[in-house]
Amino acid sequence: MAISVEELRQLVEEDSAGWRKQNCVSLRDLTAAQIEMVLQVAKELKRHDLGRHPSLFWRYPRTLAMLFQKPSLRTRVSFETSMAHLQGHAVYLAPDDVGLGIREAVEDVAGTLSRWVDSIAARVYHHTTVQQLAQHATVPVINALSDLEHPVQAFADILTLQEYAPAGAPMRLAYTGDGNNVLHALLIACSRLGISLRAACPPGYEPNPAYLEDAQQYAAQTGAEILLCATPQEAVKDAHAVYTDVWTSMGQEEEKQERNRTFAPYQLNEQLMTMAAPGAFALHCMPAHRGEEITEGVMNAHKHTILEQAENRLHTQKALLMLILGL
């Protein structure tokens, strides 16, 4: 049920899910209520024209340090735009600006930034780096991507599912491709919220067993089905949405040829989409390599939901920042 701007403000201020000043390093650290709260606030922010409601702006400008070891389009622009919409300020720190862990120790960077900014969003190669930042910072740290997990992407993914999957029926998501950080976040988010997820990954490229085990434990409580399938066809059967991601992530470039051969049977193509439920839609967190993990035809046919998924990064990250930093 939609709520008024004043009710939205009250929802953020009350902080019933306990978000205030908390880190967002891993979805495994969050409760189902916290995930649901981000989604609820994001839906209302998307519905309301924020610029017309000054009561939702911050009383004083907050500052977000964006500590990036990897380049980015969606993550950088969505965080910077979120801060601008809330009348805050984002400081982008590129790899050469900091030399995180090379020119300067992670704990020193965390401690120094904590004296200047209200929060840190870190896009890093190794999950241990964002964990160290959270350990040594005295301001909240948000994982904007690590090799192990991509929690902010999962918020946008689930919001898109909720918007486009059939109402009134348990949602079913299929995933085909690499058992990577995106799949890890999806496993936790889906199982926490009662969304069934079937994944098909090539042998040797399955998700981290700890994430799969946690997801299956959560699913036992929520009634979701969490399953690793032998083939993409099995995973996709009767799914409301089919998700894929790049086969070769940043830092894996030397493996590209081998990965392309291995993952070829897991391509999201027109034939695979016909095996999903009627009206099923495709999802991709992008950047998309057309002709590799997804065909040109599927990308074009489902461009609207994929771009909506990208837009939802803005709304969910804005909600996350509001909940963590207050109003």
Q: Which residues, 6+ apart, have CB-to-CB distance to 251 below 8 Å? A: 125, 147
Number of CB atoms found within 10 A of residue 263's CB: 21
In the 8-state DSSP scheme, what is residue 234? Answer: H
Catalytic, out of 62, 74, 123, 198: 123
Catalytic, out of 62, 184, 302, 313: 313
Does 87 qualify as catalytic in the annotation? no
Catalytic, out of 22, 34, 131, 153: 153
182 and 54 Cβ atoms separated by less than 8 Å: no
Per the document, the length of the chain is 327
End-to-end Cα, the chain, rounded Å: 23
Catalytic, out of 62, 74, 150, 302: 150
Does 285 qualify as catalytic in the annotation? yes
Does 123 qualify as catalytic in the annotation? yes
Catalytic, out of 24, 190, 201, 285: 285
Catalytic, out of 147, 157, 214, 245: 245
Could you tell me the sign of the dihedral formed by the alpha carbons of 100, 106, 112, 116, in that order?
A: positive
What Rg do the C-alpha atoms of the chain give, in angstroms? 19
Q: What is the dihedral of CA 323, 174, 215, 148, to 10 degrees?
A: -70
Does 150 qualify as catalytic in the annotation? yes
Positions marked catalytic: 123, 150, 153, 245, 285, 313
